[in-house]
Amino acid sequence: QWVKRFYDMLSKLQVTVATPTLSNARKPYHQLSSCFIDTVPDSLDGIYRSLDNFAKVSKFGGGMGMYFGKVRASGSSIRGFEGVAGGVIRWIRLANDTAIAVDQLGMRQGSVAVYLDIWHRDVPEFLNLRTNNGDDRMKAHDVFPALCYPDYFWKQVRDNLEGDWYLMCPHEISTIKGYHLEDCYGEEWERKYLDCVRDSRISKRVIPLKSLVRLIIKSMVETGTPFTFNRDHVNRANPNGHKGMIYCSNLCTEIAQNMAEIEFVEEQIKTKDGDEVVVTVTKPGEFVVCNLASLSLGRIDVKDPEEIAEITRSAMRALDNVIDLNFFPVSYAKINNENYRPVGLGISGYHHMLAKAGIPWESEAHLAFAEDVFDRIHYAAIEASCENAREKGSYHYFAGSDWQTGAYFTKRGLTDERWQALARKVAENGIRNGYLMAVAPTGSTSIVAGTTAGIDPIMSRYFLEEKKNGLMPRVAPELSMETFWYYKNAHQIDQTWSVRACGVRQRHIDQAQSMNLYITNEYTFRKVLNLYLLAWEKGVKTIYYIRSKSLEVEECEVCSS
């Protein structure tokens, strides 16, 4: 019965599974997961272990997110020797070289996003990683930089842009204050940050806030990065906050799960078969791994709650099976996957769906429609995972989670009788997966399904997309006289509507969304900044690329043949 249901949803292209699942399921090593995230420790052994983990993940087709926020800044002390630390840039360059060297059997180059907190002392150099000017020894052109922002930063940008921002070293803070600033969020983080600012023992790199924001936006417009991670939004909405902290996201900014660094315990010399062997003992931490699939909304009747529920149930079952079928390139990932059983059910064909329904992107009808569709998908995903838990058991850390207490639902304002009945059902039967939904970019799998990518608007009704082996023609799906005017080009859309829609959807997505912003040369510094402030105000957790394009010489294509 399940085989037929899986076959039907895949053959009708109503659901697409992630690229690694598609390309590796038929191989001897069936590494089916897309996303991995590692917390890089502040030690020589720890950093090289993280690079080794990245190499193994990349070898089998996974993308990587690496959080460097715990690594001490340039000029910090090592073993009491002042001013000798080299900072995060030299280690990021090693991650860059690993991405190039380990190229997934020639199929595609390794990919890694590197995350740093906005208050880290090495941020100015970090923002120049991919730019084309400056010292080439401080560059890493093949990694994707991303910044983690607390609410306090955006409040200062909104209310006090003429003020100063203080950059500090996490190692120095932990040595002097006895706590790790990156290990807290929200009001606690703000209180401790201001405490560190006032403490004269902690050295600070003071930078005008306006200059820092200008540096960030300059990098965004030139290189498309850094990606944005709003850490307070993410951690407040974390359904498993009782078990840990989320420091950053993954390569495509849609995964948000508990993280912890791998810790060295001891090295033992043992005898095996008459020979001496060296055994290294480590605590596994929380090495994030996630398995993805997407509902192709352009090929589903989204107004039919039964069809959405049926297909979502099948997709959730299939994703849960991936966890048990999977080959894990590193053991740390296996442990984490079995503890949380995380999955990321997303969507593709969002613009396709709107065009078919005759709904303009820039309209209140779009926001209302998004709320309705994602409410149904969200409900169906939780219900499906709950049914799977009744049959197979809950994930390991269910006890004490927001799923069990019902806080998951109240935090999101899901308080009507239908949702409260589901909350009671989850508390009683448990839930199979600790994390459920994440909207991936689906750049490749949307081509297979003949639909639009992820939650993005189309680049153009007709365009040539550059792929590894050349140019590929793309046409807006189901283009006809009925849908033609609803396919507005991404760069011509008022981006505030995209941000507002992202905020509407975020309520129904327990992890995050890969959302791109599309800007033209008409966008001023202030206009770009206002988009990011709006995203923060609307509760958007992450922003992926900012894609800039000049429209100076673009001809009108509406009447072209």
Tens digits of per-residue pLDDT, 439-472? Answer: 999 988 999 999 999 999 999 999 888 877 789 8
Strand partners, 16: 294
Q: Give the per-residue pLDDT at 108.
A: 67
Q: Give the per-residue pLDDT at 257.
A: 97
For residue 197, pLDDT beyond 80: yes
- Give dist(CA 349, CA 466) in Å, integer: 20
- Give dist(CA 165, CA 157) in Å, integer: 10
Decide: 381 and 420 in contact? Cβ < 8 Å. no
3-class state of residue 326 by DSSP: coil
Q: At what angle do helices 209-223 and 151-159 cross, to 10 degrees?
A: 110
- Give dist(CA 58, CA 72) in Å, integer: 26
Confidence of residue 277 (pLDDT cuts 50, 70, 90): very high
Q: Give the per-residue pLDDT at 360.
A: 98
Tokens 């053991």 found at: 331
For residue 554, pLDDT beyond 60: no
Question: In percent, how much of the chain has pLDDT > 70?
Answer: 97
For residues 408-431, average pLDDT: 97
Is the bond into 226 cis (omega within 30 degrees of 0)? yes
Q: Give the per-residue pLDDT at 462.
A: 92
Question: In terms of Cα–Cα distance, which of 202, 218, 141, 127 is closest to 166?
Answer: 202
pLDDT digits (tens, 9 = 90+) for 303-319: 898 999 999 999 999 99
Q: Give the per-residue pLDDT at 69.
A: 97
How many C-beta neighbours within 10 Å does residue 302 have? 22
b/e code 251-277 from CB counts within 10 Å (16+ = b): bbbbbbbbbbbbeeeeeeeeeeeeeee
Decide: 249 and 146 in contact? Cβ < 8 Å. yes
Q: Give the per-residue pLDDT at 556.
A: 54
Strand partners, 266: 281
- For the ranges 261-270, 326-335, 495-504, the maximum mean pLDDT occurs at 495-504
Q: Give the per-residue pLDDT at 552.
A: 46
How many C-beta neighbours within 10 Å does residue 448 have? 15
Q: Give the per-residue pLDDT at 63.
A: 87
Q: Give the per-residue pLDDT at 553.
A: 46
- Catalytic residue numbers? 250, 252, 254
What is the β-pairing status of strands 144-149 and 227-230? Answer: parallel
In order of their start, the domains of the chain are 1-30+287-515 (3.20.70.20), 35-268 (3.20.70.20)
Tokens of 76: 């910090």
Q: Which residues, other chains included, contact 253 with Cβ-Cβ below 8 Å and sequence gap of 6+?
A: 113, 146, 227, 228, 229, 512, 513, 514, 515, 542, 543, 544
CA distances from 235 to 149, 169, 209, 506, 527 (A): 12, 22, 25, 14, 28
Tokens of 327: 């080959």
Q: Give the per-residue pLDDT at 84.
A: 83
Average pLDDT over the chain, rounded to an integer = 93
For residue 559, pLDDT beyond 60: no
Q: Give the per-residue pLDDT at 106.
A: 65
pLDDT digits (tens, 9 = 90+) for 231-247: 999 999 999 999 999 99
Decide: 180 and 174 in contact? Cβ < 8 Å. yes
Q: Which amino acid is at 209?
A: L
For residues 182-200, average pLDDT: 97
Least confident of 20-34, 85-99, 153-167, 396-410: 20-34
pLDDT digits (tens, 9 = 90+) for 515-540: 999 999 999 999 999 999 999 999 99
Strand partners, 473: 464
**pTM attached to this predicted model:** 0.95
For residues 181-196, average pLDDT: 97
- Give dist(CA 61, CA 43) in Å, integer: 27
What one-character-per-residue DSSP string does 506-536 give? HTT-SS-B---EEEETT--HHHHHHHHHHHH
Radius of gyration of the chain (CA): 23
Q: Give the per-residue pLDDT at 1.
A: 94
What is the β-pairing status of strands 517-520 and 546-549? Answer: parallel
Q: E-assigned strands of 9-52?
A: 15-17, 35-39
How many C-beta neighbours within 10 Å does residue 501 have? 25
pLDDT digits (tens, 9 = 90+) for 138-175: 899 999 999 999 999 999 999 999 999 999 999 999 99
Q: Give the per-residue pLDDT at 421.
A: 97
Tokens of 370: 């998004």
For residue 493, pLDDT beyond 90: yes
Q: Give the per-residue pLDDT at 136.
A: 83
Q: Compute, in degrees rounded to 10, the torsion defined by CA atoms 99, 146, 516, 548.
A: -90
Q: Give the per-residue pLDDT at 549.
A: 80
Decide: 343 and 15 in contact? Cβ < 8 Å. no
What are the two backbone dihedrals, phi and then psi, of residue 340, each rounded to the nearest 5 degrees? -100, -20
Question: In percent, how much of the chain has pLDDT > 90?
Answer: 84
Note every long-range contact of 83-90, with CB atoms under 8 Å and residues 24 or more positions apart, other chains counting: 85/171, 87/121, 87/122, 87/125, 88/116, 88/120, 88/122, 88/126, 89/122, 89/125, 89/126, 89/129, 89/138, 89/140
- Give dist(CA 301, CA 275) in Å, integer: 65
CA distances from 253 to 11, 141, 256 (A): 28, 19, 8
What is the β-pairing status of strands 288-296 and 164-167? Answer: unpaired
